[in-house]
């Protein structure tokens, strides 16, 4: 046995020198995208049939020592079609291949990138970070989709309550309704409130081709809610080659995931079809957050001729999941809250918002969500001539779903007093602290006035239709873009009886159009029933001047945005529409980039835009009485940056300043609701990110961002009712108080290395500091209370990932492995400020401890 080991060792040792012993040469070149000419970083160059290979550096260059003689080089990169090249190299020779072009494995990707305003390094003068598809494949694991961005400057992403798809993301201190999110160029922020609900897109990671974060004004030409920045997500489209893949994965807490993709490739008749599907389910890390989700993706394309191409895409992610909707005091998690009459189990995984029915976890009030938001688009690409193209997308999204609510005259039997973090006096719980549905059913069964507590669904469905058309032309060094952005949205908001919990009926007299005390059954509407209607017609244009070393742009947009409201419960037929309230927001922005030489570049940008108030500001009291004093929000933003690029080092540094004026807030005094006017916030900071490749198979990446985000002023104004009767004076004391809900200092350090042939290991360290608890600015009404919200403890987390590529018969296969929060660090990820601005009074969610996932992907 010992002699055999020595022979194997000697053979392996001598093989390291075999290339030198039999002669070798050096092959160099630059790997580039065949369409754009951009350098490809990290693309592989391998001597076919051997383990001899290297990866391209930041400038796309590679240098590879190969055995002398006739060889075949294989070039590959995720998202591109592999290419082979036969060479003959002599001993001691250096052979320069020049530019080696790789073609995208996706037909029509370039057109999508243009329509979606995808930015390019050293040309587009904005702060940007691009997440390549291999990063998503290797590092996401069983994290939520926004968490793939957590090593991006000024990003704070958490799992929030911890339910499937419930993650949130902040960018430069702004939440999702102030971040423009585009999927294939189509805006997806909610038309009423600007929010992005990631549970609607829970399967998006499975079909993402590439992803880009543009911080600040961004490069989008559309009128977006991009106060903090823009997230561009490009999905798969038409696969250029025939083939597919299957994937199976498992993870902590019963996580299972199965996925497939098949494609015909681009056939001789010009047709191509790509189909993907996935199924995920599990128990959830947080107790009582089991889930079941699907995703699907279909693209059908037709190359009509050299000048015209049609592409139809539909994707969606139907899912249901139990949630954790309630934050708790730290003392509750530790079992030290004297108002909790039962022992706390699992401590940091604790969830008060569920019980058991028929042996299965059953989410209670704010403890369950179901949704399906398919999005379909028909895209036409027309190459009018060599310099002019027209891209048009007609899209639609018909969404349905909602969240669980508990209602009724004694609904508190199945609710938690979240303000005081304790059960209500009449909350019914089992001895282990779960909602006692059986006890409630007994009460309802004997009630003579109908169910005292019911399960309902807060329904938020919508129909959304849009047309996005973009004309691009080039005249010498000038690129001119003009387009149309038309949208129509109708959102349905109501509550619907789902389960009478053992009762015979339910009474709710909110609808004036039906007789009082009408018995309601499963499926009936109650409490409220209204529609929010939004129409949008926008025009945009941009002029861009581009040379090898200098680029500059100026863009503008204007939109006609109208709101209307229909209420079917508190108004009689014929009087249910509010009528249109119209706004005309606009934006102007520009910037320039100068490449000093092949290594150094500088850029500057700036812009000003107005934003229409959101729907709930225009209709603040849930009636058709429009708020005539609703104001535009105004944003002024400027930024300067510097970049350095060489074959081994890439650095970006930026300074930004965003002044957010007349933030839309409301305050209610008695029965009167009024605008808070004149409230401003200043978000400014510095961002650094860099990547270093000391050797081709080792990649080191780091980032640091330090923000200073504060409210700028106190506000004071008189409040009058509709009859102009004085109701009181409102004061909010906010000057120099830090904005909450996002870490103002973030940093990360990542390393990944191919330690053995086709075995890659990676580590990510992420740090969050100066993270102030969330709070409602309108509640800061005491002149003596000017303290910052509670500052959460700083935290550093370590993640680990590996992937190993190998042959499985004739197929290429990859094993993925991920461990997040490797050292099982206990930390607070989200907090709502308490009355004393300290740890004892804050309501919090703890972040996840150690989690893991692994999976096998086979390509055919």
> Cα(410)–Cα(245) distance, rounded to whole angstroms?
53
Kindly state whether residue 283 falls inside one of the protein's structural domains.
yes
Beta partners for 684?
657, 708
Q: How far is CA 353 from CA 320, 328, 364, 425, 457, in A?
A: 16, 11, 5, 16, 15
256 φ, ψ (degrees, to nearest 5): -130, 145
Kindly state whether residue 472 falls inside one of the protein's structural domains.
yes
Domain termination residue (choose one: 74, 102, 130)? 102
- The per-residue pLDDT for 84 is 92
Identify whether the C-beta of residue 294 lies closer than 8 Å to the C-beta of residue 277.
Answer: yes
pLDDT at residue 9 is higher than 50: no
Residues 6+ apart with CB under 8 A from 1: none
Does an H or E element contain 361, and which?
Answer: strand 360-363
- The per-residue pLDDT for 257 is 97
* Long-range Cβ contact pairs of 519-524 (< 8 A, separation 24 or more): 519/450, 521/497, 522/497, 522/498, 523/496, 523/497, 524/496, 524/497
The CATH number of residue 46's host domain is 2.60.40.10
Give the tens place of pLDDT for each residue, 505-542: 999 999 999 999 999 999 999 999 999 999 999 999 99
- The per-residue pLDDT for 81 is 86
Range of the domain at 812: 243-859
> Cα(426)–Cα(439) distance, rounded to whole angstroms?
12
- The per-residue pLDDT for 663 is 86
> Cα(11)–Cα(397) distance, rounded to whole angstroms?
62
Q: How far is CA 583 from CA 114, 333, 473, 678, 753, in A?
A: 29, 47, 31, 19, 53
pLDDT at residue 449 is higher than 90: yes
Q: How far is CA 677 from CA 173, 673, 774, in A?
A: 21, 13, 21
> What three-state secondary structure class fits 131?
strand
Quote the number of domains for the chain: 2
Give the tens place of pLDDT for each residue, 725-747: 777 788 889 999 999 999 999 99
**Among residues 845, 817, 651, 764, which one has the least CA distance to residue 150?**
764
The string of DSSP codes covering 781-803 is --TT--PPPPEEPPEEEEEEEEE
pLDDT at residue 42 is higher than 60: yes
* Percent of residues, the chain, with pLDDT higher than 70: 95
The CATH number of residue 341's host domain is 2.40.170.20
pLDDT band (50, 70, 90) for residue 621: confident
Kindly state whether residue 4 falls inside one of the protein's structural domains.
no
Identify whether the C-beta of residue 703 lies closer than 8 Å to the C-beta of residue 690.
Answer: yes
Kindly state whether residue 214 falls inside one of the protein's structural domains.
no
Give the tens place of pLDDT for each residue, 807-836: 999 999 999 999 999 999 999 999 999 999
- The per-residue pLDDT for 2 is 47
Percentages of the chain per state (helix, strand, coil), in multiples of 5:
10, 55, 35
Domain termination residue (choose one: 50, 73, 102)? 102
Kindly state whether residue 172 falls inside one of the protein's structural domains.
no
Give the tens place of pLDDT for each residue, 459-479: 999 999 999 999 999 999 999
Give the tens place of pLDDT for each residue, 662-703: 988 777 666 666 777 789 999 999 999 999 999 989 999 999
Give the tens place of pLDDT for each residue, 231-285: 999 887 777 789 999 999 999 999 999 999 999 998 999 999 999 999 999 999 9
Kindly state whether residue 193 falls inside one of the protein's structural domains.
no
Task: Tell me: do 731 and 582 sit in the same domain.
Answer: yes
pLDDT at residue 309 is higher than 50: yes
Kindly state whether residue 231 falls inside one of the protein's structural domains.
no
Residues 6+ apart with CB under 8 A from 561: 534, 535, 536, 582, 583, 584, 585, 612
Domain termination residue (choose one: 56, 86, 102)? 102
> Cα(153)–Cα(577) distance, rounded to whole angstroms?
45
> Cα(524)–Cα(17) distance, rounded to whole angstroms?
78
């Amino acid at each position: 046995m010992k002699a055999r080991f020595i022979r194997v060792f000697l053979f392996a040792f001598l093989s390291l020198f075999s290339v030198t012993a039999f002669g070798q040469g050096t092959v160099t070149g630059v790997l580039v995208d065949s369409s754009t000419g951009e350098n490809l970083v990290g693309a592989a160059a391998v001597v076919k049939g051997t383990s001899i290979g290297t990866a391209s550096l930041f400038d796309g260059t590679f240098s590879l020592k190969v055995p002398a003689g006739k060889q075949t080089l294989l070039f590959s990169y995720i998202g591109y079609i592999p290419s082979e090249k036969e060479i003959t190299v002599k001993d001691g020779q250096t052979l320069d291949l020049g530019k080696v072009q790789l073609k995208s494995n996706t037909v029509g990707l370039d057109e999508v990138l243009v329509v979606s305003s995808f930015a390019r390094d050293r040309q587009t003068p904005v702060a940007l970070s691009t997440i390549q598809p291999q990063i998503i494949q290797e590092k996401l694991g069983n994290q939520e989709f926004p968490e793939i961005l957590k090593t991006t400057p000024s990003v704070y992403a958490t799992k929030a309550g911890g339910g499937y798809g419930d993650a949130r993301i902040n960018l430069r201190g702004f939440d999702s309704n102030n971040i423009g999110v585009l999927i294939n160029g189509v805006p997806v922020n909610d038309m009423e409130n600007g929010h992005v609900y990631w549970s609607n897109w829970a399967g998006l990671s499975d079909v993402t081709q590439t992803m880009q974060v543009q911080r600040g004004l961004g490069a989008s030409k559309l009128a977006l809610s991009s106060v903090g920045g823009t997230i561009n997500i490009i999905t798969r489209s038409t696969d250029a080659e025939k083939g597919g893949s299957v994937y199976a994965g498992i993870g902590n807490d019963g996580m299972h995931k199965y996925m497939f993709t098949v494609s015909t490739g681009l056939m001789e008749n010009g047709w191509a079809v790509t189909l993907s599907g996935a199924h995920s389910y599990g128990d959830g890390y947080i107790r009582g957050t089991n889930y079941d989700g699907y995703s699907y993706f279909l693209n059908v394309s037709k190359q009509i001729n050299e000048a015209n191409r049609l592409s139809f895409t539909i994707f969606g992610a139907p899912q249901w999941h139990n949630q954790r909707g309630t934050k708790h005091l730290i003392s509750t998690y530790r079992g030290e809250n004297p108002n909790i009459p039962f022992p706390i189990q699992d401590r940091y995984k604790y969830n008060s918002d569920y019980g058991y029915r028929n042996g299965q976890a059953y989410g209670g009030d704010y403890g369950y969500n179901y949704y399906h938001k398919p999005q379909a688009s028909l895209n036409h690409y027309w190459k009018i001539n060599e310099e002019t193209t027209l891209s048009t997308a007609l899209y639609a999204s018909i969404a349905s779903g909602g969240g669980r609510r508990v209602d009724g005259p004694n609904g508190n039997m199945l609710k938690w007093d979240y303000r005081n973090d304790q059960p209500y006096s009449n909350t019914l719980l089992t001895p282990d602290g779960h909602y006692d549905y059986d006890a409630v059913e007994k009460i309802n069964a004997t009630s003579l006035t109908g169910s005292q507590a019911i399960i309902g669904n807060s329904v938020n469905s919508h129909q959304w239709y849009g047309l996005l058309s973009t004309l691009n032309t080039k005249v010498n060094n000038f690129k001119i873009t003009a387009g149309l952005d038309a949208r129509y949205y109708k959102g349905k908001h109501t509550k619907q009886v789902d389960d009478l919990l053992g009762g015979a009926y339910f009474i709710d007299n909110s609808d004036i159009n039906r007789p009082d005390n009408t018995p309601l059954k499963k499926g009936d509407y109650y409490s409220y029933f209204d529609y929010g209607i939004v129409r949008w017609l926008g025009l945009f244009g941009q002029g861009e001047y581009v040379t090898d070393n200098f680029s500059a742009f100026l863009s503008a947009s204007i939109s006609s945005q109208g709101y209307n409201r229909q209420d079917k419960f508190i108004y009689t037929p014929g009087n249910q529409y509010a009528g249109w309230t119209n706004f005309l927001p606009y934006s102007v922005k520009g910037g320039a980039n100068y490449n000093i030489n092949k290594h150094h570049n500088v850029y500057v940008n700036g812009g000003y835009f107005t934003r229409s108030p959101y729907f709930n500001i225009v209709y603040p009291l849930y009636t058709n009485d429009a708020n005539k004093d609703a104001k535009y929000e105004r944003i002024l933003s400027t930024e300067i940056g510097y970049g350095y690029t060489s074959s081994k080092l890439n650095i970006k540094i930026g300074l930004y300043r965003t002044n957010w004026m007349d933030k839309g807030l409301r305050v209610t005094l008695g029965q009167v609701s009024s605008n808070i006017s004149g409230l401003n916030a200043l978000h400014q900071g510095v961002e650094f990110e860099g990547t270093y490749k000391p050797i081709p198979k080792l990649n080191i990446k780091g980032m640091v961002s330090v923000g200073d985000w504060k409210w700028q002023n106190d506000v004071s104004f008189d409040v009058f009712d509709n009859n102009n009767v004085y109701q009181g004076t409102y004061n909010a004391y906010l000057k120099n108080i830090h904005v909450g809900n996002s870490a103002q200092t973030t940093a990360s350090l990542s390393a990944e290395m191919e330690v053995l042939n086709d075995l890659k290991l990676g580590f990510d360290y992420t740090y969050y500091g100066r993270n102030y608890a969330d709070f409602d600015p309108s509640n800061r009404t005491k002149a003596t209370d000017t303290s910052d919200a509670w500052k959460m403890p700083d935290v550093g987390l370590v993640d680990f990932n590996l992937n190993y590529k190998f042959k499985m018969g004739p197929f290429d296969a990859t094993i993925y492995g991920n461990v997040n929060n490797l050292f099982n660090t206990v930390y607070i990820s989200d907090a709502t400020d308490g009355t004393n601005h300290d740890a004892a009074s804050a309501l919090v969610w703890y972040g996840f401890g150690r989690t893991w996932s692994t999976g096998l992907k086979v390509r055919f």
